[in-house]
Structure 1
């Protein structure tokens, strides 16, 4: 709920459908972070340097301190956000930049989705669709690898129409 409220301008009430949809996105985020850690991206020197730099900047602002519970939430959110960005770069974005053949193959397999337009005319949309396809496959594999159980009764208790 802390993350939901933070990302929804402090809104404290949400329908069950809104909470369930947000929880699904949050679970996907957490699975990507777990994948990044499994790949050892959290041990990367550049990652550690970036996290330390952010922590120093946060402390310098003196808006929150390490003794404040919110400080821990903020630092964890930043750590995980950077990991999610780094793993997404490796799993999705770099694949699009490095493999024009795969993009063309994706276009060929899905040409019907582009109303008969040439690859050059819809290249941007093809790339976006290809990235989404890669992400969907990745999430599917993560959900197969890691078991996620949601206590639906507790989720319903948090929901407020």
Structure 2
């Protein structure tokens, strides 16, 4: 009986944890807060959006995260040029004194910069250096390989909650 209670509690905990995330890529969650922060940032602060628009943006965001994951797997996050670039950006951001280093916004801005730099670096290696003529095809094939390689779970219910229908 005790095991049954433990299993039920564990299942509820996992369900609640998953419910607060819009997706999980390779075991790493994308929280509602992170996703909506990026969405609003890239859409002029507009949070009043349809489910279809959020779903489309989530798939673009997943593609971005997959590229970052691939860059990390290639060790690009340990590259000295990348680390120097991130350090310079962090110094510049701190010099602006607009956002406290301890704030969640600061952490999201730094994370966005780090991931964008990685995505740029891996895209340069995987796409831009390979072909000047057919970049869209190469990128589509790369995304397809990444989607097969890394498990993705999208929480449709949570995405629907975020949409202002």
For Structure 1 versus Structure 2, the TM-score category normalised by the shorter chain is 0.7 to 0.9
Aligned to 1:86: 121
Deviation at 1:86, TM superposition (A): 0.1
| 1:146 correspondence with 2:147 | no
Equivalence map 1:1-161=2 (5 Å): 1-97=36-132, 127=133, 130-161=134-165
Distance in 2, Cα, partners of 1:32 & 1:42: 12
SS in 1 for 2:53: helix
Stretches of structure 1 that go unaligned for 5 or more consecutive residues are 98-126
Deviation at 1:144, TM superposition (A): 0.3
SS in 2 for 1:89: helix
Flag the structure with higher strand content.
2
Q: TM-score, normalised by structure 2?
A: 0.78
Stretches of structure 2 that go unaligned for 5 or more consecutive residues are 1-35
Alpha-carbon displacement from aligned partner over 1:24-65 (angstroms, at most 9, x marks no partner)? 000000000000000000000000000000000000000112
Deviation at 1:68, TM superposition (A): 1.3
Runs (4+) of structure 1 exceeding 6 A deviation are none
Deviation at 1:139, TM superposition (A): 0.3
Flag the structure with higher helix content.
1
Q: Report the number of matched residues.
A: 130
Which protein shows a greater Rg? 1
Deviation at 1:87, TM superposition (A): 0.1
SS in 2 for 1:63: coil
SS in 2 for 1:134: helix
Distance in 1, Cα, partners of 2:157 & 2:90: 37
Deviation at 1:12, TM superposition (A): 1.2
Deviation at 1:13, TM superposition (A): 1.2
